[in-house]
């Protein structure tokens, strides 16, 4: 019998998920939703890696939420790890949204270029 998947399971355990399990279905749904958000277009390698990272982080945050909702006190290590996963998930989602910003063309107005630079610096500052 396979060991149950938890928030601290190794990546190899996540990779061996039976596609019929709830965690595997969750990852598949998150991936499908992200691809739809990106317009169901072919992804660049960078976007593909960010989508993979988001799926993995979302699964771990969801498993940690389930463990925390069972009751009991969160250990200091668990709380820090959860906070790190949540923060990384938020930053990855922001990076993915930044890929949707159209790059200014050569004939773009100065205001469009200024807005692009401002948005780009905000995303980099958040990272």
- pLDDT tens figures, 57-73: 999 999 898 888 888 77
Question: Quick one: DSSP state of residue 19?
Answer: T
d(CA 20, CA 18): 5
Sequence ranges of the domains in the chain: 22-101
d(CA 86, CA 74): 15
d(CA 63, CA 43): 27
Identify the band that residue 113 occupies on the pLDDT scale cut at 50, 70 and 90: confident
pTM above threshold 0.75: no
Residue of 91 and 20 predicted with greater confidence? 91
- pLDDT tens figures, 81-91: 999 999 999 99
Put residue 4 in one of left, alpha, beta given phi > 0 → left and psi -120 to 50 → alpha: beta
DSSP letter for each residue of 2-36: PPPP-TT--HHHHHT--TTSHHHHHHHHHHHHHHH
Any idea which of 32-36, 41-45, 53-57, 112-116 has the lowest mean pLDDT? 112-116
């Amino acid at each position: 019998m396979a060991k149950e998947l938890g928030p601290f399971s190794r990546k190899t355990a996540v990779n061996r998920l039976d596609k019929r399990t709830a965690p595997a279905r969750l990852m598949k749904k998150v991936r499908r939703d992200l691809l739809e958000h990106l317009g169901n277009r072919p992804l660049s390698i960078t976007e593909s890696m960010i989508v993979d990272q988001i799926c993995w982080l979302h699964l771990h945050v969801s498993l940690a939420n389930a463990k925390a909702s069972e009751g009991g006190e969160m250990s200091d290590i668990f709380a820090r790890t959860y906070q790190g996963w949540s923060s990384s998930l938020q930053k990855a989602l922001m990076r993915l949204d930044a890929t949707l910003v159209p790059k200014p063309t050569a004939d773009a107005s100065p205001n469009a270029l200024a807005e692009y630079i401002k948005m780009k610096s905000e995303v980099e500052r958040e990272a």
